[in-house]
Amino acid sequence: MIILALFVGIVYAITLLLLASKWSSEQDMSGTISNIHSVSLLVPFRNEVNNLPEIFHSIEQLDMDHMQVVWINDHSEDESLEMLVALIGKQSSSFDHLVLTSSGIGKKAALETGVQRATGEIILTTDADCVLPRYWVKEMIYGFQNTGTQLVAGPVLTKSGNSFFHKFQQIDWASILLVSNFSIKMKQPLMCSGANLAYRKSAFIAVEGYAGNRAVASGDDEFLLKKITSKYGASAVVYQNSPNCLVMTNAHKDWASLFDQRVRWASKWKAHNRLHALFSFMPALLQLFWLGSFTLTFIDFTCGLIALGILWTMKLMAEWIALGKVLKSLKYEVPMQALLRTSMIHPFYVIFTVVKVFGGNYHWKGRG
């Protein structure tokens, strides 16, 4: 049993290092963007009155001569709409702002409403609680220089903070980015984030948008990724991980809201095919392994304790190298103490999320 546990630990460490080997933030921007005619940015929002000024300001600062910005109100219950109208009235850019009310309920319906009115050849999407870097649009649409590219995904991180909870969320996001980048570059796309996504409008229409999974509360990004991959092939999907593509989103204020979001994300596993659903459970199985590793001391206390020390040292070092590489490439540093605490807490965090998924209860933006 001890030998088997050490073997699994070695495989885990090697796997993380392999994932990290495919992470490169270098991007050749020497060419010119010659075959992109128009761009539309879609921003669905619901009850975002406190976040709209910041996202609006970051959009106004984008390095683009002209762009359509489509705001889709998902039936906000606060003063988001009034705030947005006031902001547009004071705009300083030449962007064409269009404000719509979603024809349905939920983010998918809002995005489909936006796509219908979008005039751009390329659709970009983000969330209303995000901040966009100045050169974001140009970096993202550069991926469409290849006429075969249909979808471009980019990185997302939570905004910095001094607390451990902020650091935990950034490290957790780094693990998501690591897998997203690796899977796309290995031509087996698994996940992406709608907070930093671009695709051809023609591709969205060709795969019939979210038809077939509109009833699933989340997954607007992953389901679209899978449908486009299925129709056009994995080579039609690109991952841009330059720091200039990094979209920042608000960190959660407490553990309850973080769990609600993660449960919402994980709850779509039933709608995926069996292989994807199985892969989705791999993190939970791995975390069960790490929690179960403490039982090695019950087999043989001395040998088990030594094996436990070796296992967790391998885990920490591999995570430090792999996740540290992701964050450093995006201009963020990870304190060793934060990584150590995250490594210890993360197994409980993942298992608790899985338990809540099967419980089926979460609340998000005033909806259950």
Question: Could you tell me if 155 and 278 lie in one domain?
Answer: no
37 pLDDT more than 60: yes
Do 234 and 331 belong together in one domain?
no
Q: Are residues 104 and 230 in the same domain?
A: yes
DSSP annotation of 261: H
Question: Which conformational region is residue 336 in: left (phi greater than 0), alpha (psi within -120 to 50 degrees), or beta?
Answer: alpha
The DSSP 8-state label assigned to residue 318 in this structure reads H
The HSE-up count of residue 28 (CA atoms within 13 Å, CB side) is 3
pTM of the full structure:
0.89
Boundary (domain end) residue, out of 201, 224, 257: 257
The pLDDT of residue 356 is 79
pLDDT on residue 61: 95
- Is the pLDDT at 320 greater than 80? The verdict is yes
pLDDT(365) > 80: no
C-alpha–C-alpha distance, residues 263 and 362, integer Å: 7
In a shared domain, residues 95 and 171: yes
A 10 A CB-CB count for 351 gives 16
Range of the domain at 85: 37-257
Band of the pLDDT at 34, cuts 50, 70, 90? low
Q: Is residue 235 part of a domain?
A: yes
- 177 and 68 in one domain? yes
User: Does the residue 117 lie in any domain?
Assistant: yes
In a domain, 268, yes or no: no
- Mean pLDDT of all residues in 172-192: 93
The pLDDT, as a whole number, for residue 354 is 82
* Mean pLDDT, range 68-85, rounded to an integer: 95
Q: Which residue in this structure is represented by tokens 């406190």?
A: 50
The pLDDT of residue 262: 84
pLDDT of amino acid 278: 62
- Exposed/middle/buried for residue 251 (C-beta within 10 Å: 0-12, 13-18, 19+): buried
How wide is the angle at C-alpha 240 spanned by C-alphas 333 and 71, nearest 5°? 100
Looking at the fold, whether 132 and 208 belong to one and the same domain comes out as yes
Phi, psi (degrees; rounded to nearest 5) at 131: -125, 130
> What's the confidence (pLDDT) of residue 364?
54
Residues, the chain, total? 368
Q: Is 20 helix (H, G, I), strand (E, B) or coil?
A: helix
CB atoms within 10 A of CB 210: 22
Residue 117 CB contacts under 8 Å (≥ 6 apart), including other chains: 70, 98, 100
> What is the distance between the alpha carbons of residues 231 and 249, in angstroms, rounded to a whole number?
31
Q: Are residues 157 and 282 in the same domain?
A: no
Q: Provide the 8-state DSSP code for 208.
A: T
More confident residue, 279 or 40: 40
Name which of 56-65, 236-245, 295-304 the model is least confident about. 295-304
Chain segment 243-257, per-residue pLDDT in tens: 999 999 999 999 999
Whether 226 is covered by a domain: the verdict is yes
* pLDDT exceeds cutoff 90 at 282: no
Q: Is residue 348 a contact partner of residue 195, using CB atoms and an 8 Å limit?
A: no
The residue among 22, 83, 30 whose CA lies nearest residue 52 is: 83
Query: Distance between CA atoms of 305 and 326, rounded to whole angstroms?
Result: 32
Sign of torsion over alpha carbons 98, 102, 107, 108:
negative
Distance in angstroms (rounded) separating the CA atoms of residues 151 and 172? 24
Residues 239 and 284 in one domain: no
**Residues 308-332: what's their mean pLDDT?**
93
In a domain, 20, yes or no: no
Are 217 and 313 part of one and the same domain?
no
Q: Assess whether pLDDT exceeds 90 at residue 101.
A: yes
The rounded distance, in Å, linking the Cα atoms of 237 and 87 is: 35
Which pLDDT score is estimated for 235?
Answer: 96
Q: Give me the phi and psi of 90, to 5 degrees please.
A: -110, 15
Give the number of other Cβ atoms within 10 Å of residue 161's Cβ: 12
Count up the domains in the chain and report the number: 2
Residue 236 CA to residue 19 CA, distance in Å, equals 21
List phi, psi (to 5°) of 47.
55, 55
- Which CATH number belongs to the domain containing residue 65 in this structure? 3.90.550.10
Co-location of 246 and 333 in the same domain: no
Same domain, 246 and 336: no
- The whole-number average pLDDT for the span 17-36 is 72
pLDDT tens, 134-172?
999 999 999 998 999 999 999 999 998 889 999 999 999
Give residue 290's pLDDT: 84
pLDDT value at 31 more than 90 = no
Q: What is the pLDDT of residue 368?
A: 53
Average pLDDT over residues 197-207: 97
pLDDT in the model for residue 158: 95
Q: How confident is the model at residue 351 (pLDDT cuts 50, 70, 90)?
A: confident
Cα gap 147→203, rounded to integer Å:
12
Residue 29 lies in a domain: no
Q: Do residues 128 and 222 both lie within one domain?
A: yes
Sign of the alpha-carbon torsion through 250, 251, 252, 258:
positive
Angle at 199 between CA 103 and CA 208, to 5 degrees: 50
The answer to the question of residue 176 being in a domain is yes
- The pLDDT, as a whole number, for residue 263 is 84
Domain final position from 257, 292, 312: 257
The answer, yes or no, to whether residue 36 has pLDDT greater than 80, is no
Lowest mean pLDDT among 52-56, 58-62, 287-291, 302-306: 287-291
Please tell me the distance from the alpha carbon of residue 9 to that of residue 21, in angstroms, as a whole number: 19
Of 16-30, 140-154, 313-327, which gets the smallest average pLDDT?
A: 16-30
Of 227, 257, 287, the position where a domain reaches its end is: 257
Of 15-19, 51-55, 279-283, 348-352, give the lowest mean pLDDT range.
279-283
Task: Tell me the average pLDDT of the chain.
Answer: 88
Q: Are 211 and 224 in contact (CB under 8 A)?
A: no
Report yes or no on 328 lying in a domain. Answer: yes
